[in-house]
Amino acid sequence: MTDEQSTPRPEDDAARLGLVVVGEAAALHSGDEAALDASEQNIRDTVDELVDEPLTERQEEVLERLAAAGGTLTAGLSGALAAQTGRSVDDVLEGAARSVVWQQRLANERDDAAGDTDPARDREDAGGQQRDHRDEQGRDQA
């Protein structure tokens, strides 16, 4: 969240959480303990940043475990899809991350079309992608 954007939209928070879950799945597939530790810390940091009021210790633990469970499910499903399609798990997870970002962009475009413009939101999405290179149909250009 930037100083210019005081209240994040639920779609932005959901996209951020979605990317955290995909990150957890990637860490699980990597088998790298350092990557898994970093992902778990990312879950904790994201939960801390997204809540309006301090959570109880139990609430925070439940949210962290939900995100980790989502990552576990995503890891399992991406592994199965990769095996079924002959693609790499990394390709499947990259596609999942792109889908999360794309859904957020669609929500932004719906809000923009309805007249709900927020310059801070237009510059950057949850994945940190700049939104300045798009054609008339809203597709990214190279």
Q: What is the pLDDT of residues 81-123, one digit of tens each?
A: 999 999 999 999 999 999 999 998 998 888 888 875 554 544 4
Residue 14 makes CB contacts below 8 A (sequence gap 6+) with 104
Q: What is the domain range of residue 60?
A: 10-123
User: Which of 87, 80, 89, 94 lies closest to 30 in space, CA to CA?
Assistant: 89
Within-domain flag for 75: yes
Number of domains in the chain: 1
- 3-37 confidence digits (pLDDT tens): 455 677 888 999 999 999 999 999 999 999 999 99
Q: Is the pLDDT of residue 129 over 70?
A: no
Within-domain flag for 42: yes
Q: Could you report how far apart the first and last alpha carbons of the chain are, in Å?
A: 27
Q: What's 55's DSSP letter? A: P
The two structure tokens encoding residue 107? 């929500």
Within-domain flag for 65: yes
Count the residues in the chain. 142
What is this structure's pTM?
0.73
Within-domain flag for 28: yes
Within-domain flag for 3: no
Within-domain flag for 140: no
